[in-house]
């Protein structure tokens, strides 16, 4: 079992802890598939919703908050029945806008894993306005059920009445909908090819600034992040922050990063290179490889 879960697993009832422990192996990154979750529910003898609540300390153990020292865990349950954990992330000594909220982390985990709809979000503290707006960007977002400890379950619309959504800006395919853009670039570099593919899957309906980051560690593993825009602009999730959240969820350290690539579209109204470099230089002494690509004709 990973050391970061040793304290949190002691907070669980023994039947659930015993069933969960084998899943918390060295490769565990917060993903529990539907069959594994069903096994945990059966072993615990509790209702599904209670088991989801009980798992929150495990999600919170994924957090990396050197500024606030406040550990927030979230679980996004996809339409597939799979669970995707996430936690808050802060960059040491850097401006707070570089932070990743737990709900963003969990949702981006689901998105990177191919989920197309989130049905439930379980979190150990009430979602802030930033996160409510971020969740409202999702497909069928207003109907997502929000589960909080010792509170009744309500849809997101209860927490964000009269919300501002993609539909208000005439976006008909919100975040998590299947979409892909193709870009032109000749390269045989696997890392650049991965970044190009991820940029094509990113979500940038307001600026057309499709972008993605790929980080490579010393052992050759890669961790990606895509740009995810928001109708309210500021809750947009930067690709570097998503990639760093992905890295930390996989129990890797910033010191392991040896290479970082940002690919972004030439047709975008903005560039993410400045924000990406700031985040990278806060945690690693390496230079960012910045590649601008042309979109393929429709």
Binding-site positions for Zn(2+): 101, 128, 131
103 is catalytic: yes
Which residues carry a binding-site annotation for substrate? Answer: 88-90
Q: Is 195 helix (H, G, I), strand (E, B) or coil?
A: helix
Which of 103, 137, 216, 229 does the annotation list as catalytic?
Answer: 103
Which residues carry a binding-site annotation? Answer: 88-90, 101, 128, 131
- State how far the Cα of 101 lies from the Cα of 130, in Å rounded to an integer: 9
- State how far the Cα of 248 lies from the Cα of 81, in Å rounded to an integer: 24
Return the number of other C-beta atoms located less than 10 Å from residue 97's C-beta. Answer: 12
- State how far the Cα of 114 lies from the Cα of 108, in Å rounded to an integer: 10
Rg (CA), the chain: 19
Q: Which of 55, 167, 180 is nearest to 116 (CA)?
A: 180
- State how far the Cα of 199 lies from the Cα of 272, in Å rounded to an integer: 12
| Burial class of 62 by CB neighbour count within 10 A (0 to 12, 13 to 18, 19+) | buried
Q: Which of 108, 86, 87 is nearest to 229 (CA)?
A: 108
Q: Which of 138, 139, 101, 91 is nearest to 123 (CA)?
A: 101
Q: What amino acid positions are annotated as catalytic residues?
A: 103
């Amino acid at each position: 079992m990973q050391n970061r879960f040793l304290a949190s697993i002691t907070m669980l009832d023994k039947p659930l802890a015993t069933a969960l422990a084998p899943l918390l192996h060295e490769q565990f990154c917060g993903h529990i598939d539907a069959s594994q979750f069903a096994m945990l529910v059966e072993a615990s003898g509790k209702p599904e919703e209670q088991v989801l609540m009980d798992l929150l300390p495990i999600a919170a153990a994924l957090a990396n908050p050197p500024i606030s020292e406040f550990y927030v865990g979230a679980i996004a349950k996809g339409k597939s029945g799979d669970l995707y954990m996430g936690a808050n992330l802060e960059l040491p000594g850097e401006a707070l806008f570089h932070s990743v909220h737990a709900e963003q982390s969990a949702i981006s985990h689901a998105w990177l894993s191919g989920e197309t709809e989130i049905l439930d979000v379980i979190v150990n503290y009430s979602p802030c306005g930033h996160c409510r707006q971020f969740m409202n960007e999702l497909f069928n977002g207003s109907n997502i059920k929000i589960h909080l400890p010792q509170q009744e379950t309500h849809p997101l619309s209860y927490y964000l009445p009269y919300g501002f959504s993609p539909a208000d800006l005439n976006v008909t395919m919100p975040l998590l909908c299947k979409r892909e853009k193709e870009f032109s670039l000749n390269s045989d570099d696997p890392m650049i090819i991965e970044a190009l593919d991820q940029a094509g899957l990113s979500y940038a309906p307001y600026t057309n600034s499709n972008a993605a980051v790929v980080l490579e560690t010393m052992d050759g593993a890669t961790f990606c992040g895509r740009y995810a825009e928001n109708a309210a602009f500021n809750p947009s999730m930067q690709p570097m922050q998503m990639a760093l959240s992905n890295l930390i969820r996989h129990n890797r350290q910033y010191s392991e990063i040896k290479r970082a690539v940002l690919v972004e579209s030439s047709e975008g109204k903005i560039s993410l290179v400045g924000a990406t470099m700031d985040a990278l230089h806060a945690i690693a002494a390496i230079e960012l490889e910045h590649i601008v690509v042309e979109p393929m004709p429709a």
